[in-house]
A and B are shown apart, each in its own frame.
Chain A
Amino acid sequence: EPEVTQTPSHQVTQMGQEVILRCVPISNHLYFYWYRQILGQKVEFLVSFYNNEISEKSEIFDDQFSVERPDGSNFTLKIRSTKLEDSAMYFCASSGQYSNQPQHFGDGTRLSIL
């Protein structure tokens, strides 16, 4: 069964550094999402992306965050200047073109900011 893959599985970064989290969605999917989960808390929506533009973003997704689909297969989340509070699991998800199809999630990247 096709799956969403995320790399790296664990990223350790110094505060203030830029970090790029990478995702390869399922190949025929058209809708892409990033979520995050701070340790012990709920899964929170960050941003959705369709047709090469952001469809919706949460208030967490401020100017420090950006997303990109640089080619036909990758979907990236960039955090420009990381803060301690950015430490979390980051999940990428994708879904197909038909109404109410499920979102398929990757296993996440654990981001640790020192």
Chain B
Amino acid sequence: DAKTTQPNSMESNEEEPVHLPCNHSTISGTDYIHWYRQLPSQGPEYVIHGLTSNVNNRMASLAIAEDRKSSTLILHRATLRDAAVYYCILRTDSWGKLQFGAGTQVVVTP
């Protein structure tokens, strides 16, 4: 699976939006962009995924660049519960493994 690059950490104030960038310049046409997060002492948790179009769900929005070489996960109003490591993962095989990188540690300040 192609590689992704994310910042090591980001800080946000509670109730402010958080924009988490991910670069994936070697993405192929069939790679889906998946986001997971891992809260402290828990397993990874699915957040959102997309292929070409922007996607919204109850947790977040995913904005995908037109050339698909980057994407941004948007948490609309950060809460203390959103403090976690967020992983951007490219997935070629629809049922295959997830390859986790180091992710972005999000810190939310009251």
Contacts and interface: CB of A to CB of B under 8 A. Distances in A.
Given A42-B100, A44-B100, A45-B99, A100 B94 contact: yes
Interface string B19-34: 0000000000000101
Which secondary structure dominates chain A's binding surface? Answer: strand
Q: What class of interface size applies to chain A in its complex with B?
A: 20 to 34
A100 B100 contact: no
B37 to A, nearest CB: 11
A104 interface: yes
Interface stretch (A62-70, A77-85, A105-113): A105-113
B45 interface: yes
Nearest to B35: A102
B44 A105 contact: yes
B2 interface: no
A35 B87 CA distance: 15
A33 B101 contact: no
Contacts of B80: none
B68 interface: no
Contacts of A106: 43
Interface of A: 4, 31, 33, 35, 42-45, 48, 50, 55-56, 58, 91, 93, 95, 99-100, 102-108
Interface of B: 32, 34, 38, 41-46, 49, 87, 91, 94-102
